[in-house]
Amino acid sequence: MADRKPIESWLTDMDGVLIHEGVPIPGADAFIKKLRESGKPFLVLTNNSIYTPRDLQARLNRMGLEVPIENIWTSALATAKFLDDQRPGGSAYVIGEAGLTTALHDIGYILTDHDPDYVVLGETRTYSFEAMTKAVRLINAGARFICTNPDETGPSTEGPLPATGAVAALITKATGKQPYFAGKPNPLMMRTGLNAIGAHSETSAMIGDRMDTDVLAGIEAGMRTFLVLTGLTRPEQVENFPYRPSKIVDSIADLVDRV
């Protein structure tokens, strides 16, 4: 890595890197503070499409992490950007929460269950059989199938919850149609995020706690990758993957001096 250019911009996952179950991870506040003082472009990313950037900013602020709204990038925003590029001013039937519906409204999309261009599936705590049935019928009638992210489970204080990827599998089984996933590990989410802050992959780094989403997306987007061990991936699991991060560190605290 010695021949690579210095890191001028940073992308970091949120859950498992900066916070864990509603509590900031030691060093996260110092890392964000250092980034803001440095003036370097940065983004906090999440595959969770439930919340708007404003919601997430307030949530992080309550934990002592001051992240401006424009430095938050979600799978909902990446999905909206993709749809705006593909079919400007289109329509969609949406299963999801405010983070997704707001992002689609902001690009001028009409949300409807009448002959939509797309069925867009995102995260929600209240997946309903009625909504999934409607999605199946609309896809069978010709709507294109889009998902915010492929995560099969999500965290909760009681244990794992079924997430977008699991519900997408149900709809795929019922329709025979595979969705297009806009969120990690699709490098599209990274590239659109980098474009949003005017950064280039050659001088950018991605920090994550998951090999199968964060590190993979960073590698495929051409960035340096840092795996932290404060989330899902354990050190002994790294060798199970056919790719490796640029560096493994214990936590975000170990990267403060790299900014």
Q: Which residues are catalytic?
A: 13, 15
CB atoms within 10 A of CB 160: 11
- Which of 121, 31, 104 lies closest to 71, judged by CA? 31
Token look-up 């969120």 returns 183
- Which of 3, 2, 7 lies closest to 255, judged by CA? 7
60-65: long-range contacts, CB 8 A cutoff, minimum separation 24: 60/14, 60/18, 60/19, 63/19, 63/22, 63/23, 63/24, 64/24, 64/29, 65/18, 65/19, 65/24, 65/28, 65/29, 65/32
How far, rounded to the nearest angstrom, does the alpha carbon of residue 49 sit from its chain's CA centroid? 8
**1 half-sphere exposure, CB direction, 13 A CA radius:** 14
